């Protein structure tokens, strides 16, 4: 029930892997079946369902770098922090190769992505924004869902912080911006700005 994204440009054979979860062999098979080579693992945050495939991908491609927001980096190597115990599992990942912060740029596989720091679901949650496309694209993890937001009742959660980040950083993007969340179907910033019960913007008279 977690969305792993494999992102590529049509004219290239390298790709990005966003949030590899609990089915790494399916991810690896999809990459190989399409003749691709992963250039980076981009993590939106460090919860177990978004990092469980890291180790298998690194075994397959040892030089593959792992990128994550600095605040969530300890979750990779410390099983008690990534909340696997909630599902009765103990999972760790290789450590991060690059720590990310607000305003950083990630240039890999023909993409240049802007990093937004949007904590509240987890302390170091980040989102990746691709502004070279029309419409813009957001790889958003567990920040903004279709009709909902990420859970804030987990350790390190803060709903006020999360809603504030969504409104300031995601809702400032064009209304047709497509958000690919960590769970469920894609949505747009405009749809959620108008109708999301947790963070919709008040309408102006």
List, for residues 23-74, the tens digit of each pLDDT value. 999 999 999 999 999 999 999 999 999 999 999 999 999 999 999 999 999 9
> Of all residues in the chain, what percent are helix, strand and coil, respectively (each to 5)?
25, 25, 50
The per-residue pLDDT for range 172-183, each reduced to its tens digit, is: 999 999 999 999
Q: Work out the average pLDDT over 1-12.
A: 96
Q: Which two tokens stand for residue 166?
A: 């969504």
**Which CATH number applies to 5-195?**
3.60.15.10
204, pLDDT greater than 90: no
Q: Work out the average pLDDT over 2-18.
A: 97
Compute the mean pLDDT over every residue in the chain, rounded to the nearest whole number: 96
Nearest CA to 106 out of 50, 40, 168, 166 is that of: 40
What does the domain layout of the chain look like in residue ranges? 5-195
Task: Please state the φ and ψ torsions of residue 30, each to the nearest 5 degrees.
Answer: -65, -40
Q: What is the reported pTM? A: 0.97
The per-residue pLDDT for range 133-183, each reduced to its tens digit, is: 999 999 999 999 999 999 999 999 999 999 999 999 999 999 999 999 999
The per-residue pLDDT for range 76-126, each reduced to its tens digit, is: 999 999 999 988 999 999 999 999 999 999 999 999 999 999 999 999 999
> What is the 8-class DSSP label of residue 144?
E
């Amino acid at each position: 029930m977690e969305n792993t994204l494999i992102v590529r440009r049509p004219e290239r054979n390298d790709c990005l892997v966003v949030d590899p979860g609990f089915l790494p062999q399916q991810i690896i098979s999809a990459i190989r079946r399409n003749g691709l080579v992963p250039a980076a693992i981009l993590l939106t945050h460090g919860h177990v369902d978004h990092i469980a495939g890291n180790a298998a991908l690194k075994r397959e491609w040892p030089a593959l770098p792992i990128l994550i927001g600095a605040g969530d980096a300890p979750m990779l190597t410390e099983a008690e922090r990534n909340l696997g115990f909630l599902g009765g599992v103990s999972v760790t990942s290789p450590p991060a190769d690059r720590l990310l912060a607000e305003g950083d740029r990630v240039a890999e596989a023909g993409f240049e992505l802007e990093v937004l720091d949007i904590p509240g679901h987890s302390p170091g949650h980040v989102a990746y924004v691709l502004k070279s496309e029309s419409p813009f694209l957001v790889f958003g993890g567990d920040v903004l869902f279709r009709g909902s937001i990420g859970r804030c009742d987990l350790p390190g959660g803060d709903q006020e912080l999360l809603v504030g980040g969504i409104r300031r950083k995601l809702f400032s993007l064009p209304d047709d911006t497509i958000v690919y969340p960590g769970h469920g179907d894609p949505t747009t910033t405009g749809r959620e700005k108008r109708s999301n019960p947790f963070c919709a913007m008040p309408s102006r008279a």
